[in-house]
A = this chain, B = another copy of it.
């Protein structure tokens, strides 16, 4: 198994990258992973609120691992960076990406700015007009499990959302193979608090969150159109989902329990085959069959664990999926995409 950890052969090529928004949880996680990547040098980290501070001032767990300090972004500072990671709040990437494209950079955007193809839908869910809607079509929705071929050649990679990662990976093969009703999908998801970002808020304080749980943004979460549009495009049919996110009293991870309705005459064997075929060889999908995943097993890793139960009597298939929201749901998937884009071993730096 040693090759999981060390594939120095992939280091023939060496790249230089920068990270915008490295003061947030996802950006800091991207930095942490990239620091261990044998073929990558991180040139600069940018973070508006912490300019001049060493990274370890905000993230003391990184003390001793890097001497980088946060700078204010300007395009000239990333001259040597062939790839730029954007881990900015919604609405910021669309403002800086056009210039980066012109400068010939490759961009890996961890925000939602380039995940939808329809700028009207963007406006509806993100409450802001899209200022570089012309780039939406060329952006590649970077989910390796369904789009590895496109990722290789993209210049603008839109990294999937955390919730959508747990929804799309298991639903994709079921829909693609026509095994389930595409408009009767109910997703109940639980997210750790880091999913809300590093911010000051009474609602996110330990005293309010611990020992509790609550649903939020029912019916209007921006990940609904993301899940629906990606799955519709991938499976060639109109897919519609009911999606209920909940705030879980845990720091990291997303756990999704998805109720779907198999089409008539679809049995367990067909479902098992579809999953098996889809996930066979996938380096970061751990397919558990009829075992039920548990969140802690993926926390700290780039894996998605997937399992399912089919209740024939009730006519419902229930699918379970679990990821670390900051890794497979953000920075890890971003580095996985970078590895694909650069021709590195896809697992490089990601067996954590």
Binding site for B on A (CB under 8 A): 1-2, 4-6, 8, 25, 35-36, 38, 41, 60-61, 63-67, 183, 186, 188, 190, 192-194, 196, 198-202, 204-216, 218-219, 240-242, 244, 246, 248-253, 255, 257, 259, 286, 292-301, 303, 305, 309, 311, 314, 316, 318, 320, 351-352
Contacts and interface: CB of A to CB of B under 8 A. Distances in A.
A305 B286 CA distance: 35
A250 B247 CA distance: 13
Given A210-B250, A215-B320, A240-B314, 16 more contacts: A4-B65, A5-B35, A63-B297, A64-B303, A188-B188, A190-B246, A194-B207, A204-B205, A206-B249, A210-B251, A211-B295, A214-B255, A241-B314, A242-B318, A300-B300, A352-B352
B8 A212 contact: no
Contacts of A183: 314
Q: How many copies does the complex hold?
A: 4
Contacts of A213: 190, 248, 250, 253, 255, 294-295
11 contacts: A65-B351, A186-B186, A190-B190, A199-B205, A200-B201, A204-B207, A214-B294, A216-B292, A241-B314, A242-B318, A248-B249
A49 to B, nearest CB: 10
A3 to B, nearest CB: 10
B207 A193 contact: yes
Closest 5 A-B residue pairs measured CB to CB?
Answer: A212-B296, A214-B294, A188-B188, A206-B209, A60-B297
A260 B240 CA distance: 16
A199 B205 CA distance: 8
A7 to B, nearest CB: 11
B259 A242 contact: yes
A216 B309 CA distance: 11
A38 B5 contact: yes
A250 B212 contact: yes
A2 B210 CA distance: 31
A253 to B, nearest CB: 7
Contacts of A188: 188, 257, 259
A244 to B, nearest CB: 6
A19 B60 CA distance: 33
Contacts of A202: 198-200
Contact of A1 (B25, B65, B193, B320): B65
B286 A64 contact: yes
Among A190, A193, A209, A320: residue with most chain B CB under 10 A: A209
Contact of A38 (B6, B301, B309): B6
A253 B193 contact: no
A251 B201 CA distance: 16
A214 to B, nearest CB: 4
B60 A294 contact: yes
Contact of A208 (B210, B219, B296, B316): B296
A318 B220 CA distance: 13
A244 B257 contact: yes
Contact of A257 (B204, B215, B296, B298): B215
